[in-house]
Structure 1
Amino acid sequence: MKRALCLFLIYWATVGMHAIPAMPEIWRTLRLKDGTEVRAQLKGDEFCHYWRTDDGRNYVKSGEEYVEANEITMSNRAQSLRTTRQASAMSRRVAIGERTHYTGKKKGLVILAEFKDVKFNASNNKAKYEKILNAEGYTTSEGFKGSVADYFKAQSGGEFELEFDVFGPVQLANNQSYYGENDANGSDKRAVNMIVEACKAVDSQVNFREYDWDDDYEVDEVYVVYAGKGEATSGNDDTIWPHMFYLKVANINLFLDKVRINTYACSNELTSSGKIEGIGGICHEFSHCLGYPDLYDTANGVVGSLQSYDIMDSGGFNGSGFVPAGFSAYEKWMAGWIDLTVLSNQNVTVSNLKPVSEGGGGYIIYNDGHPDEYYILENRQQTNWDKYLPGRGLMITHVDYDAQLWYLNIPNSVLTSTSNYVRNYGYPTNDHARLIIFRADNNASSSYTSMSHDLYPYQANDSLTATSKPAAIYYNPNMLDEKFLQGGILNITQNSDRTMNFFYRASDEDTGISEVHPDSERTPSVIYDLQGRRFMGGHLPKGIYIENGKVKVRG
């Protein structure tokens, strides 16, 4: 299978859960077996979801009532599934060629599926979903501001175009609760059965080989939209939680038209209020099919640092799900869809940086003592797919890459020696989140008001330095054996045309100033060996390497 190096690495990293997080602020009054009632909030993800009270107790449904759940048992069950799916993701790794896999025009397969007792609303028919998925500039009074195809074309800068073939609705054999019922650990019991039934139901109409993008005899994705509500947004325990998964992990070997059906994703028709869902869920889950990992805390099922600023965190809910947040500069860079200009040992004045939502690029500052740690600077404005971001300004992302943590899909999960992941599964400890943003207001609250103050400048805070709040820290020592950024990012300002200016000071001693533009200096070569180990140039032993997405032989 030919893939871009960056997408190969993203796919390699998707070893944990792949699901949309619980919609924020879903609360319910639960009736317990002893007749008492408690107020609880929906928490978790596809593998383990539950209701948590303010005093930290967790509950899952048992029959018509709720019982207290054993957190260790739930965690063991969830991690067992994540570990199994990790093996499936690993088994799909293949040799890498030039960056061709996610460019150009590709066809996607979408199947509408309804249950014996839950049908699609009459107006939410095949013709409508064809527009939701494919129609250029699709706009309605319901809230749609573009189609799924529009979304991915915009994120890729026009490099990647999707066209979806829609089939159905097909009739599933059982009631909704048969597929969505939770087990004792809060995990859906038979969601995979829905996928198998849906695929078999359209077999006579579909040539599944058309959706094998790379001739490896495996369909790249099957997407199912199921009738009714979903558990992540409604809290209904008998509905399916939107997710991405592999049939092979469930020990299902499904071959149709001589190709394997394995990778799938699914999401629901209706919101908790009974209105049609926007495209946020589809875009989030389909992004998993392309190899993008979740960016929230996968160990604890809570939002991460990016929150509403990124669709792979909770940004899929922006604009009531109709206008999901766009990919960050980090994600676009990893996909090879944009370049990042390097800021290093020379002072630079940056002027008129365009928003990333309008085709703008970004900047990267490496820790010179640890090149896997870096800052990414980008202009995020409330335009196009970023219209419903909580705030606007310069977003500064701090990445501290660790191959093992990315491999285990826990970069943003803080794990101590007492963590169940560490005790029972041999996971490494991790004392800090690895992909976060600097919050200009120095407030880590997940409230919408606080998030609106996260980007620079905020009030009098227009700089990020070793002495600012927050401070420009490093987790690893630089060449001077110091754990902070030399110099800083100063005088951050917004212009009336939504562009951004800032001054990059290379060190406290430097005084020379130069003007730089996004195309003046490119990211240095990034090299991997065939075991996925990363090198930053220099002398390399003889062997085969992947350099900037191309295979090269050294020695």
Structure 2
Amino acid sequence: MKKWFISAMLLLCCQGVFSRGIPPRYPVVLVEFKDVRFQLEDPASLVKDLLTKPGFDYDGANGSVTDYYRDNLGDFFAPSFDVYGPVTLEGRLQDYGRDVFEQGERVGDKAPEEALLQALQALSLDPTAYDADGDGAPDLAIMVYAGYDQAAGASADAIWAHQGSVASMSYIAVPELSGASGSHLGGIGLVCHELGHYLGLPDFYDTDFAMGGNAGGVYGFSLMGKGLYNNDGHTPPSLNALEKSLMGLQTDIPPLPEGVVRLGPGEMYRSETATEGEYFLYEYRDGKGWDAPLPRGLVIYHVDRSGRKVGNYTAEELWINWRNFNGVNTLASHPCYRLVPSFNPWLLEFDAALAQGRMVFPGLDEVLFYEPVDWEGNYTGVQITGIGLGEDGVSFRVLRDAGANLNGTVRDADGHPLEGVTVRAGDVSACTGADGFFCLELPEGALSNVALAASLEG
């Protein structure tokens, strides 16, 4: 099954509106059907609070959509929302949401955009109030439809939450309720995710699912991956520097320096490969705030935006033309934006049972070393070693073109690093620093048979 709506519709980009500094204002329309009505009492007030209320905490929520984007983007994206409805349409849900197939493959819902257009017509809204780009239509409309999301397991008659465009207007469609049964208000994660598309972000999960294998991608560490479902959709993860750069907010990710590196929340470094457009990213997640459902640690990503062929297109084309292909991570043998799991750096296929604590460094497996290898199997001249967590970040040592070496950390029985320990391997020796780290540069071939000795005077 494809996430069809990205490739089937021309989507509109909002960057021009933001570049002129016009605060966005969007209509939000609650839509119900002849046979499916809103279940929750006073849904308009609930939706308004979900979108805008500071500290929104209904039904386990940890903040509103406005809270999320304010915390992540500041004033770059600070919209206001006007909520209307519910509007009851004459048609049944299946008239808008029933699956459409072509050559045996599901390509979309019947006419979800018609539900929005009919509701807007019934409301007789003045489009100029929401038309910052002057094309005569609202720049973005949000449709909250009664019932459940087909993507969450609802019936084939249900609408699949999505972002699309119709009549020169971009829109997003999200359900009233979470899951496929029960009466829990949908979390902010899905709304933030679809707004992420509007802001310029592709999907980072495997959008064609079993076709071509199921790529691991970035799991729950991205709003555009599986992270929109973190904490039942209430706590989507923070946007990282790459995602912000795709939105146009932040463009400079500094190169990974040599020596001791310390990363705090929200910081990211980049190291290159020999292939232009292929690189690695390094960031720290602190397990707090929007990242509370995630483990603390160093997160490493492998990015391919090169001219290398990935399936029928180049990796660069998959990124640039994501609104047409939406296939950044559809090939399991070569995802173009993947998290590097600490316990198995070459795990490419999605593993639903994989604990997130085994994805970060050091993580549950206490992995202290990583050496980036490109898609051709070549070492990149970078070694990350001595990875350790501190109170407010992660630290590690970066070695460049170090050749054969043996490194590690010396600790006492309580796990505290020991300074001043001399570590020897034959004629080669090194002394540990305050962090207990040592690095022995060994002669070629020595790694096959090494005996270590350590001593501490006094």
Superposed pair shares fold, TM > 0.5 = yes
The alignment-based identity, stated in percent, is 27
Listed as ranges, the matches of 1:242-257 within 5 Å are 242-247=161-166, 254=167
3-state DSSP of counterpart to 2:38: coil
Counterpart of 2:395, as a letter, is N
Q: Structure 1 residues 403 and 46 mapped into 2: Cα distance closer, same or farther (>3 Å)? A: closer
1:522 alignment partner in structure 2: none
Residue among 376, 381, 392 paired with 2:296 = 392
Q: Structure 1 residues 463 and 392 mapped into 2: Cα distance closer, same or farther (>3 Å)? A: same
What's the TM-score once normalised by structure 2's chain length? 0.75
1:224 alignment partner in structure 2: 143
3-state DSSP of counterpart to 1:501: strand
2:317 corresponds to 1:404: yes
Residue 372 of structure 1 and its aligned partner are, at CA, apart by: 1.0
- Mapped to 2, the partners of 1:195 and 1:451 lie a distance apart of 38
Structure with bigger gyration radius: 2
- Mapped to 1, the partners of 2:74 and 2:381 lie a distance apart of 34
1:7 alignment partner in structure 2: none
- Mapped to 2, the partners of 1:334 and 1:161 lie a distance apart of 17
3-state DSSP of counterpart to 1:225: strand
Counterpart of 2:196, as a letter, is S
1:233 alignment partner in structure 2: 152
Say if 1:340 and 1:362, in contact at 8 Å, map to a contact too: no
Per-residue CA deviations over 1:330-368 (Å, capped at 9, x if unaligned) read 202333444655336x623112x2222xxxx2111122x
2:418 alignment partner in structure 1: none
Residue 45 of structure 1 and its aligned partner are, at CA, apart by: 4.1
More contact order relative to length (CA 8 Å, sep ≥ 6)? 1
Residue among 140, 146, 168 paired with 2:85 = 168
Q: Structure 1 residues 103 and 395 mapped into 2: Cα distance closer, same or farther (>3 Å)? A: farther
- Mapped to 2, the partners of 1:340 and 1:348 lie a distance apart of 21
Residue 240 of structure 1 and its aligned partner are, at CA, apart by: 0.9
The root-mean-square deviation of aligned C-alpha atoms, in Å, is: 2.8
1:110 alignment partner in structure 2: 28
Residue among 290, 295, 303 paired with 2:199 = 290
Residue 223 of structure 1 and its aligned partner are, at CA, apart by: 0.9
3-state DSSP of counterpart to 1:146: coil
Residue among 107, 118, 128 paired with 1:197 = 118
Say if 2:216 and 2:350, in contact at 8 Å, map to a contact too: no
Residue among 89, 93, 96 paired with 1:179 = 96
2:397 corresponds to 1:503: yes
- Mapped to 1, the partners of 2:13 and 2:128 lie a distance apart of 20
Unaligned runs of 5+ in 2: 306-314, 406-458
Residue 304 of structure 1 and its aligned partner are, at CA, apart by: 3.9
Say if 1:220 and 1:289, in contact at 8 Å, map to a contact too: no
Residue among 260, 277, 282 paired with 1:349 = 260
1:279 alignment partner in structure 2: 188
2:268 corresponds to 1:362: yes
Residue 93 of structure 1 and its aligned partner are, at CA, apart by: 7.4
- Mapped to 2, the partners of 1:383 and 1:212 lie a distance apart of 37
- Mapped to 2, the partners of 1:134 and 1:509 lie a distance apart of 54
3-state DSSP of counterpart to 1:363: strand
Alignment length, in residue pairs? 379
Per-residue CA deviations over 1:151-200 (Å, capped at 9, x if unaligned) read 11112144321211111111111122222222344432222221211221
Say if 1:445 and 1:451, in contact at 8 Å, map to a contact too: no
Residue among 358, 368, 374 paired with 1:474 = 374
- Mapped to 2, the partners of 1:305 and 1:169 lie a distance apart of 38
Say if 1:494 and 1:500, in contact at 8 Å, map to a contact too: yes
Counterpart of 1:350, as a letter, is V
Per-residue CA deviations over 1:421-479 (Å, capped at 9, x if unaligned) read xxxxxxxxxx62111111101155523543331011132411111xxxxxx21125xxx
2:62 corresponds to 1:145: yes
Residue among 55, 58, 72 paired with 1:155 = 72
- Mapped to 1, the partners of 2:176 and 2:8 lie a distance apart of 29
Q: Structure 1 residues 269 and 238 mapped into 2: Cα distance closer, same or farther (>3 Å)? A: same
- Mapped to 1, the partners of 2:29 and 2:173 lie a distance apart of 9
Residue 103 of structure 1 and its aligned partner are, at CA, apart by: 6.3
- Mapped to 2, the partners of 1:493 and 1:243 lie a distance apart of 40
Say if 2:244 and 2:250, in contact at 8 Å, map to a contact too: yes
1:257 alignment partner in structure 2: none
Q: Structure 1 residues 131 and 337 mapped into 2: Cα distance closer, same or farther (>3 Å)? A: same
1:265 alignment partner in structure 2: 172
1:16 alignment partner in structure 2: none
1:453 alignment partner in structure 2: 358
Listed as ranges, the matches of 1:29-178 within 5 Å are 44-47=1-4, 84-85=8-9, 88-89=10-11, 100-101=18-19, 105-140=23-58, 142-178=59-95
Say if 1:440 and 1:455, in contact at 8 Å, map to a contact too: yes
